[in-house]
Amino acid sequence: MEILSESEMSIQARMKSFGENSIHQFFKSEVSVDEYIQFFDNKWVAIADYMGLVYRQHMEGDWLVFTVTKK
């Protein structure tokens, strides 16, 4: 994981995307990489909202880039 920028209002970071082999091994090929990334997004959106934050993410090549911002 790498922090790209931070301020009092937000933080932007990136981490390597989830390895396809690990996801298939863990979920026994029942969940695609895209489905897992969508689940990861939905999970953190809900947690951030509960904490009064906004979570956003997108893929850039092999990197999952995410931003957490105060509401």
Question: Domain range spanning residue 24?
Answer: 2-70
Per-residue pLDDT at 19: 63
Give how many domains the chain has, as a whole number.
1
Q: Which of 71, 48, 68, 53 is nearest to 1 (CA)?
A: 68
pLDDT of 44 > 90? The answer is: yes
Contact 64, 14 (CB under 8 A): yes
pLDDT digits (tens, 9 = 90+) for 11-41: 999 998 666 667 767 777 777 778 888 988 9
